[in-house]
Amino acid sequence: MRIVPKPALDGIFVPNVTPFTRQGNLDVEALRTCVRFWVENEVSGLIPCGSNGEAPYLSREERSKVTSIVLEEVNGRIPVIPGTGSLSTQETISLTRDAENLGADAALIVTPFYYELTNSEIMAHYRTVLDSVSIPIVLYNVPKFTGFSLDPRIIDQLARENEQVAGVKDSSGKIETMTEIIRLVGSRISVLAGAADITLSSFSIGSKGAVLAVANVFPATCKRLYDAFRNNRLDEAKRLQERIILANDLLVKKYNQLSAIKEALNTTGLPAGYPRRPALALEGEEKMAVREFVKTMNESDR
C-alpha cells in the first residue's frame, strides 16, 4: 500500500469562488486578488473548483488554470485542495491527475452525479480513482447538488483500504450523518463539515474543521468561531455561530448561492465578478438585500 503525505485538514477552509467577467471569461487578476484576501485572513486552506467555484461550468483547461493560479498565489502557505470530481470515472481520473501534476496538496472528489448509482458502483468509482493517482483524496458528500448521499460505510471501507484517503467533507447538513461518519472514521481521517448551520455542533462531536461557502465573504468570522471553540470560549462560539447561520440563510439558502456569494464579495470591494451562465447576477431587491446584510455584518465586526 502506498503511503502518501497528507496535508493538515483542520480549521476553516474556503471553497473559493471563480471570478468571471460579464462576458463569462475567467478573470485571472480578480482571482489573484481574492486569494490574497483569504490568505491574509488566515484561513486553513483553499478549495478551488468546487461547488462554489462553479466547477461544472469549467472546462478541464480552466480547472487547471484556476488551480495553477491559486497554487501560485498561496505559494505553499496553506493547503490547496482543488475539486476534481466529475460525472465519469475516466474524467475524474484525468482531472485528479492534472491537480497532482500541478502540485496540489490533495484533491476533493465529489460523488458522481446525474445518474443514480448503487453503493457498489460508487465504491468501484472511488477505488479506481485511488488506484490511478498518488495524491491524497478528500471524499465529498453533497446531496443538495448530486441527489445522492454517500453512505458512511463506504467512507469507512475506503479509509480502511487506502492511506490516500485523507478526509471527507460532509455537506449533508444532517448532524446524525456527521455523527455516524465521525464514529466510523473520525479517529483515522479528518471529517470536515460542509454546512454552516451545524458547524459548531459538528465541532462538538469531533469534526476537525469546516468548509463553508460564507467563508468566502466572512473568513475572519468563521475563523473566530473555530478558534473560540478550540479555546473553550463557548459563549463566543455560540454568538458567532448565530451570525454565520444568518449569513448562510441569506447567501446560500434564500438566493442562488453562486450569485449571492459573489454579490456579497463585490459589496466588500473584492472583485468576485459575475456568475457564469445559466446563473445570473442578482438584481433589484435581491441585490440590495445582500448589500445591506454585508454592510450590517461588517459594521458589527468593528
**12 bridge partner residues:** 210
Residue entry with cell 482571482? 31
- Active-site residue, from 65, 169, 208, 223: 169
Look up residue 224 and give its three cell numbers. Answer: 473566530
Q: In what order do the strands lie in the sheet with 107-110?
A: 45-46, 11-14, 209-211, 190-193, 165-170, 137-141, 107-110
φ/ψ (deg, to 5) at 178: -60, -40
d(CA 210, CA 206) in angstroms, rounded, equals 11
| Residue 44: DSSP 8-state | S
Look up residue 87 and give its three cell numbers. Answer: 460525472
140 is catalytic: yes
Q: Is 152 helix (H, G, I), strand (E, B) or coil?
A: helix
d(CA 131, CA 133) in angstroms, rounded, equals 6
- Active-site residue, from 6, 65, 126, 140: 140
Whether the CB-CB separation of 273 and 20 falls below 8 Å is answered with yes
The pairing of beta strand 45-46 with beta strand 107-110? unpaired
Q: Which residues are catalytic?
A: 140, 169
